[in-house]
């Protein structure tokens, strides 16, 4: 283990040799500080400073993960060797900082107070904020109100639309929020993770299995709809409104298979045009831990040198005080290349529509160019949910994230597959695919899932995108059992090359666990349901009920 740690730390140091920035200070100065906040609470910070009096360009990281100091400290040392003052602060109630830990709610005030402290230091010059995941959140949450010395931010794997990262149409993203709550409860949680996710009613899991009530987790559980006051006021509302008031350049990095992608794109979309003019948007194909997650794909060009891009970003914005030109880069899965765009979403796309159709004479359900009338159905049992395999919104179950080899069509009785004819040429899918289903159920509420995949010439299927919705997908809606209802299953964006002779396959079901909470088939907030029941689900097809898949297609020059 000691040898592995040495190799890991050496890897971090070696990555800085690729940044093309010379070392100007061989032995940085290390200091520890207790920084006072406006309410008298003091937050712990450690600093690496170059030799001399300054002023130095400053890199700030604020972290709730004190256990990750073993990564941040060598980062700080390497940045200080290259002329930067580096500060890492433990968030309130974590690590060596004072105060009570409650995720996110204090980060705006604490972040702004910390910036005011930095600007008052005699060695402080231009400031940049750097971080990934929660360490990016603490950048986003102050980005509209930073002092003049803050010139830019480099933020990855996060955004400002917390609801999108937490829920999809009333069902919580279990593998994100439940696992994160267990790991960051502020006290040891030893309960089994999967047992915790399956516990009913779930709003009792903290006290019954974890040993203590978590008020902030209860808040997440009891507000399943975007229209809930919880998301429409206070810090969550403020966070979602911040991008429109940002006036500094941003480097926004995320991935097609990161659970914050939807939130990151929401954030970019709402930036002012004058801010976008100096902002970089980069979307790759790694998971939340920056690991490639494309099974059986050519990925020679997939990874970027994020250490180099981060350092070069701050060299330009802090040291040279430049405002970078706008840049949008996305990785095209299947083509193994990076594309550059003038705007996102890309304009002037055409669409291809395929209709869900009943089984042919060979018993294979189809995706056709014209509607065909028919129905198909399955029984959904919440006690036996479909396991998540190949997903974009998972954290704890990281081995199931990404584009992975899928089972055979109709691999379970509650999974119905639809398959297209082979495509006659390469298709560049770019943007947001959408599934529209006309469905009914004998339950007063239920869920429907869709998973889109490419089936190659060898017959192997690899997921592209997946999603979920509910019949009562918005607060206050009702559903009468047996009623035919149009269900919209929207996906996050993607950049994917569908190869000639490949087919599209779509699997429809009613669960995707633990990526999403299991629907009980009863109406009402999911976390309050103590029991479940089976539901008979029906999918309708044809001219009257045109269940369909819409694919955005980019026409190559």
Whether residue 41 contacts residue 92, with contact meaning beta carbons closer than 8 Å, is answered with: yes
Local structure of residue 51 (DSSP, 8 states): S
Residue 2 is predicted with a pLDDT of 67
Reply yes or no on whether the pLDDT at 441 is more than 80. Answer: yes
Residue 473 is predicted with a pLDDT of 82
Helical spans, DSSP H, in 203-339: 205, 215-221, 229-232, 234-241, 261-269, 273-276, 306-314
Mean pLDDT of 191-206: 97
Residue 309 is predicted with a pLDDT of 96
pLDDT digits (tens, 9 = 90+) for 308-340: 999 999 999 999 999 999 999 999 999 999 999
- In sequence order, the 6+-apart residues with CB closer than 8 A to the CB of 264 are 157, 158, 159, 252, 254, 258
Reply yes or no on whether the pLDDT at 348 is more than 80. Answer: no
- Of the candidate ranges 14-23, 153-162, 511-520, the one whose mean pLDDT is the lowest: 14-23
Reply yes or no on whether the pLDDT at 557 is more than 60. Answer: no
Mean pLDDT of 361-386: 95
Mean pLDDT of 374-393: 98
Annotate 171-183 with three-state secondary structure.
Answer: EECHHHHHHHHHH
Mean pLDDT of 499-513: 98
- Give the model's confidence band at 165: pLDDT under 50 very low, under 70 low, under 90 confident, else very high: very high
Reply yes or no on whether the pLDDT at 111 is more than 70. Answer: yes
Average pLDDT, the chain: 96
Residue 101 is predicted with a pLDDT of 96
Nearest Cα neighbor of 417 from 451, 393, 391 is 451
DSSP bridge partners of 441: 537
Mean pLDDT of 444-458: 97
Please tell me the distance from the alpha carbon of residue 125 to that of residue 128, in angstroms, as a whole number: 10
Provide the CB-side half-sphere exposure for 350 (13 A, CA). Answer: 6
pLDDT digits (tens, 9 = 90+) for 278-313: 999 999 999 999 999 999 999 999 999 999 999 999
Residue 335 is predicted with a pLDDT of 98
The pTM score is 0.96
Whether residue 436 contacts residue 548, with contact meaning beta carbons closer than 8 Å, is answered with: yes
Residue 556 is predicted with a pLDDT of 76
Mean pLDDT of 366-388: 97
Residue 497 is predicted with a pLDDT of 98
Q: Which domains does the chain have, with CATH numbers?
A: 2-156+246-284+298-332 (3.40.50.1820), 350-553 (2.60.120.260)
Whether residue 102 contacts residue 63, with contact meaning beta carbons closer than 8 Å, is answered with: no
Nearest Cα neighbor of 395 from 172, 191, 69 is 172
Please state, for a pLDDT cut of 70, what percent of the chain lies above it.
99
The alpha carbon of residue 203 and the mean position of all alpha carbons in its chain are separated, in whole angstroms, by 24
Residue 30 is predicted with a pLDDT of 98
Which structure tokens are listed for 480? 């009468």
Mean pLDDT of 82-111: 97
Please state, for a pLDDT cut of 90, what percent of the chain lies above it.
93
């Amino acid at each position: 283990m000691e040898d592995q740690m040495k190799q890991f730390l050496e890897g971090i140091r070696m990555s800085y040799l690729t940044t093309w920035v010379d070392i100007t200070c061989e032995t940085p100065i290390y200091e520890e500080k207790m920084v006072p906040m406006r309410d008298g609470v003091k937050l712990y910070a450690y600093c690496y400073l170059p030799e001399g009096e300054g002023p130095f360009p400053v890199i700030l990281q604020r972290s709730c993960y004190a256990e990750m100091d073993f990564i941040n400290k060598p980062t700080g040392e390497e940045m200080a060797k290259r002329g930067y003052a580096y500060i890492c602060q433990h968030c309130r109630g974590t690590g060596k900082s004072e105060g009570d830990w409650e995720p996110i709610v204090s980060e705006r005030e604490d972040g702004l107070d910390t910036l005011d402290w930095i600007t008052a230091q005699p060695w402080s010059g231009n400031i940049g904020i750097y971080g990934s995941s929660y360490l990016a959140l603490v950048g986003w949450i102050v980005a509209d109100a930073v002092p003049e010395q803050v010139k830019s931010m480099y933020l990855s794997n996060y955004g400002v639309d917390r609801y999108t990262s937490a829920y999809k149409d009333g069902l919580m993203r279990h593998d994100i929020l439940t696992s994160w709550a267990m790991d960051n409860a502020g006290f040891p949680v030893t309960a089994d993770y999967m047992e915790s996710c399956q516990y009913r009613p779930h709003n009792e899991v903290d006290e019954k299995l974890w040993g203590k009530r978590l008020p902030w987790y209860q808040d997440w559980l009891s507000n399943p709809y975007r229209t809930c006051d919880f998301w429409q006021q206070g810090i969550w509302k403020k966070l979602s409104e911040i991008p429109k008031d940002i006036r500094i350049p941003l480097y926004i990095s995320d991935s097609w298979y990161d659970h914050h992608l939807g939130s990151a794109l929401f954030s970019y979309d709402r930036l002012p045009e004058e801010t976008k003019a100096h902002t970089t948007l980069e979307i790759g194909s790694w998971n939340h831990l920056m690991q490639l997650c494309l099974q059986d794909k050519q990925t020679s060009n997939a990874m970027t040198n994020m250490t180099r891009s981060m350092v070069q970003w701050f060299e330009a914005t802090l040291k040279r005080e430049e405002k970078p030109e706008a840049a949008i880069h996305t990785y095209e899965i299947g083509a193994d290349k990076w594309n550059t765009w003038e705007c996102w979403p890309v304009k002037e796309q055409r669409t291809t529509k395929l209709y869900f159709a009943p089984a042919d004479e060979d018993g294979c359900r189809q995706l056709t160019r014209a509607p065909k009338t028919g129905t198909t159905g399955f029984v959904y049992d919440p006690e036996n949910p479909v396991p998540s395999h190949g997903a974009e919104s998972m954290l704890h179950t990281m081995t199931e994230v990404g584009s992975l080899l899928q089972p055979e069509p109709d691999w379970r009785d509650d999974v119905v597959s639809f398959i297209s004819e082979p495509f006659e040429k390469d298709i560049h899918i770019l943007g947001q695919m959408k599934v529209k289903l006309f469905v009914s159920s004998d339950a007063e509420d239920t869920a429907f899932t869709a998973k889109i995949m490419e089936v190659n010439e060898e017959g192997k299927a690899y997921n592209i995108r997946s999603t979920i919705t509910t019949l009562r997908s918005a607060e206050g809606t009702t559903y009468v059992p047996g009623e035919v209802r149009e269900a919209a299953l929207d996906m996050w964006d993607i950049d994917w090359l569908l190869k000639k002779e490949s087919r599209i396959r779509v699997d429809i079901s009613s669960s995707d666990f633990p990526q999403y909470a299991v629907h009980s088939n009863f109406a009402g907030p999911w976390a309050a349901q103590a029991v479940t029941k089976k539901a008979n689900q029906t999918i309708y097809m044809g001219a009257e009920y045109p269940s369909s898949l819409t694919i955005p297609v980019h026409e190559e020059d």
